[in-house]
Amino acid sequence: MPSVPARVDAGGDPELAARLTAALRAASGDDIVIESLTHPFHSYPARMHPATSRELVMLVAESMPPRSILLDPFCGSGTTLVEARAAGLRAIGVDVNPLAVLVARAKTFTVPGRTRLKLQAVARAIAGEVLAAGRQARRATAEVAPLRGPTGFDPNARNRRLAAWFAPHVRRELEDLARHLDTLAKQDSELASVLTAALSAILYKVSSRSSDTDATWIQRNVARGACARWFLQRVELLVSGLQDLSATPGSPPEIFEADMRALGELVPAGSVGGVVTSPPYAGTYDYAEHQRLRFDFLGLRHRHLDQQEIGSRRGLTGLGAGAQWREQLGAAIDALAPLLAPGALAALVIGDSMGAGRAFFALDDVRAVLTSELALVAWASQPRPMLGAAERSAFGERGKCEHVILLRKLG
């Protein structure tokens, strides 16, 4: 039986609304785009669906002046940057999360073929040495290797935080991989960063943390040697995706670790020809918490994320949460507007959410913070299942939706 396309409500300019509807629908049932290029490399909470991103990049690019920039100011793991790179566009990404930046840079590392080969060769050598060291460590006479101490982290506190999450043999193997990457970083920091992203990609799979968004402790049986083997497989997956991504001429996007509300310091006014982005879903995620284990293990500093993440669950609490979110979203839109060239389109993928015991209706929130520089030209909204009684009561008859909202810069 042919599947019935999911219901989507849309409004505004009919032609553009139809394109937004197609972008939302592209995600349902897609199992091709999601596995293409470097998309499957690393998990990321609330990642944009690559098929939706592809449609939106195509739509926004149609009205971009030549050589102008496609911007994703909340780039996360870089889905839109990958699609922009595949389309041969000049792109800039910004995120306040150091892990997002590490992953997005790795996923768009479109360097000459010989550098990709080197990446693969170095990963093979490191995995080989770690496997050999593991075999050696199983001999009764072997000495216990010292644990790493990333600079800026108190080694004892780091140890206490990590100890519960990894079986001793897994921890030893992971630290050994990371030690090799520390050495590599002294000769080639770029390659070391890309390989660190590959190590990050397997970290939760070998830990006792249930998933990125669920910190429940679970028993996981990880075979000896699995960390080194999975690390290498992840690098091979990345290299193959990067090869496909490099088929279009162009260069990697520029990616900044920054608070997007300070974008004016990074991107010249009027230089952005289009935006495709997905801002945080109010009160739903807590990237600082979701990735704390990765930060601790990899030695990534996250003070700015802790202070500047907008829309986080930990930041939006109590009765003032609604007003606080609109203030944060308003500041984000205000930072974005001056960068856009006249006529530029900005596509926002954003979901209704529940936080601080109340519903946040994303389309209402975006409308409420728009200033005279930007017009809402079209939108499409797809109903989302509601998970429990609390959501059903908070969302009521309107239900909960995922939206694509299209803004145009006036002037």
Ligand X SMILES: C[S@@+](CC[C@H](N)C(=O)[O-])C[C@H]1O[C@@H](n2cnc3c(N)ncnc32)[C@H](O)[C@@H]1O
- Where do contacts with ligand X occur on this chain (CB under 6 A)? 44, 46-48, 74, 76-77, 79, 94-97, 100, 259-261, 278, 280, 287, 308-310
Closest approach, Cβ 384 to ligand X, in A, equals 15
Query: Which residue's CB is nearer to ligand X, number 184 or number 346?
Result: 346
- State the first-to-last Cα distance of the chain, in angstroms, to the nearest integer: 49
In angstroms, the CA 293 to CA 28 distance is: 32
Q: Which ranges of 164-250 does DSSP label H, i.e. alpha helix?
A: 168-187, 189-203, 226-245
Q: How far is the CB of 278 from ligand X (least distance, A)?
A: 4
Q: Which is nearer to ligand X, 32 or 389 (CB)?
A: 32
Q: Which of 220, 150, 222, 159 is nearest to 192 (CA)?
A: 150
Q: Which is nearer to ligand X, 103 or 227 (CB)?
A: 103
List alpha helices for 314-388, DSSP H.
321-336, 362-369
8-20: buried (b, 16+ CB within 10 Å) or exposed (e) per residue? bebebeeebbebb
* Rounded least distance, CB 91 to ligand X, Å: 13
- Please report how close the Cβ of residue 95 comes to ligand X at its closest, in angstroms: 4
Dihedrals phi, psi of 379, to nearest 5 degrees: -155, 160
Q: Facing residues of 379 across strands?
A: 11, 405
Strands 272-277 and 374-384: unpaired
Nearer to ligand X, 241 or 280 (CB): 280
Distance separating alpha carbons of residues 244 and 246, to the nearest angstrom? 5
| Number of residue whose CB is nearest ligand X | 76
Judged by beta carbon, residue 196 or residue 208, the one nearer ligand X is: 196
* Residue 375, strand partner residues: 408
**What's the closest the beta carbon of residue 381 comes to ligand X, in angstroms?**
17
**Shortest Å distance, C-beta 172 to ligand X:** 31
Q: Which is nearer to ligand X, 64 or 288 (CB)?
A: 288
